[in-house]
Structure 1
Amino acid sequence: MDDAANLVTARRMLMEKRTKLFWSPCAAHCLDLVLEDIRELSVFYNTIVNAKKITTYIYRHGQYSKGRELARPAMT
């Protein structure tokens, strides 16, 4: 079972006991789904492909990245 399904199950169980509970879906998950859809749009597809090529080039040529990450991953 994926995290989204787990959250829906947990929400249902909580709302059965707490009828006044307000529930909102995870913003990070929703944004991730939106971005997955956007990357499939032809207007953005070529830009994303080119960005991946540039990123790959930079990482393969260490003098440009100096061994560092281009982005700092963080918890959401």
Structure 2
Amino acid sequence: MSSIAMTVFLDSSPGELVDLPHAGSALEHPLVFDSAAREIKKLAADGRAEVVAQRVSTVGDDALIEELRFRRIT
């Protein structure tokens, strides 16, 4: 079974700019969104995507990714 992040990644076309969805999706909860965004960032570290923009907020001692835009490379 694919994760939400992998499903969004695979549904995109190479070169297409994609915003990881928030409202109305399973990623509405900030911790779930952060986890999916970090999964996309791992794909970027592997050379499969490029993170174009992100917005991070600090909650206590933790940094949470609140927005992420990426481009699929492969």
Instruction: Judge same fold: TM > 0.5, yes or no.
Output: no
Query: Larger % of strand: which?
Result: 2
Give the TM-score normalised by the residue count of structure 2. Answer: 0.29
| Bigger Cα Rg | 1
Q: Which has the higher contact order (CA 8 A, sep 6+)?
A: 2
The alignment's TM-score, normalised by the length of structure 1, stands at 0.29
